[in-house]
Chains A and B, each alone.
Chain A
Amino acid sequence: GAVVSQHPSRVICKSGTSVKIECRSLDFQATTMFWYRQFPKKSLMLMATSNEGSKATYEQGVEKDKFLINHASLTLSTLTVTSAHPEDSSFYICSARDHGGGRETQYFGPGTRLLVL
């Protein structure tokens, strides 16, 4: 149980285009999902907290107009990188909290590697 999927697992795009990454909780309902960014050989940095049916809460320094987050259902959150640039290349990981589980536990997706040329 408690499986989180991400799609795509890897994406290459041209500079200036937009890329959408999906995060799905497969066997539980997730009212809250989190988006992290991980640079090579670095730690995970929280970008934003996504709550179903409401606006996402962004961490300081994260541009909300560049990283659009939508959490339209209890099992799906999307992160759209708008007008992507090479500096947006990174590994993006989502996590989800089970609505019926402990607040402190997050289940992580397998990550999406984004390369912007």
Chain B
Amino acid sequence: AQTVTQSQPEMSVQEAETVTLSCTYDTSENNYYLFWYKQPPSRQMILVIRQEAYKQQNATENRFSVNFQKAAKSFSLKISDSQLGDTAMYFCALYIYNTDKLIFGTGTRLQVFP
């Protein structure tokens, strides 16, 4: 079975600081992708960053970067220079190509303080 685990229900960080959100996953498949989605209070799901499992290089999108450790099945998200607008629920998600399903973790609520 495929699972996604986010062990941090809530996190907080001061504005301009750096924060790392944890995610581990489990799958026996080889063809998969990993995502981080942001869900602000508006509830709109926004894609933050994606990682192809076959790529060793960690994905980066401006202030957002991931630490993808394939052997450990770990996929953490680092947010640098945190901004108030980063306050949201963050979901880690695993897409399995063979089953065509996107599996979400339970989410981490991030609060950025001024």
A residues apposed to B, CB below 8 Å? 32, 34, 41-46, 49, 91, 93, 95, 103-106, 108, 110-111, 113
For residue A63, give the distance in angstroms from its CB to the closest CB of chain B. Answer: 19
Using Cβ atoms and an 8 Å threshold, which residues of chain B touch A111? 43-44
Q: How far is the CA of A45 from the CA of B91 in the complex (A)?
A: 12
Q: How far is the CA of A9 from the CA of B107 in the complex (A)?
A: 23
Contact, CB under 8 Å: A42 / B102? no
CB-CB nearest 8 A-B residue pairs: A108-B45, A104-B33, A43-B104, A104-B95, A111-B43, A44-B104, A110-B44, A43-B106
B residues apposed to A, CB below 8 Å? 33, 37, 42-47, 50, 91, 95, 97, 100-107
Q: Which residue of the partner chain A has the closest CB to B102?
A: A106
Q: Which residue of the partner chain B has the closest CB to A113?
A: B43
Contact, CB under 8 Å: B100 / A44? no
Q: Can you name 15 extra interface pairs (CB under 8 A) apart from A43-B91, A43-B105, A111-B44?
A: A41-B107, A43-B107, A45-B104, A46-B102, A46-B103, A91-B43, A93-B45, A95-B45, A104-B33, A105-B50, A106-B102, A108-B44, A110-B42, A110-B43, A113-B43
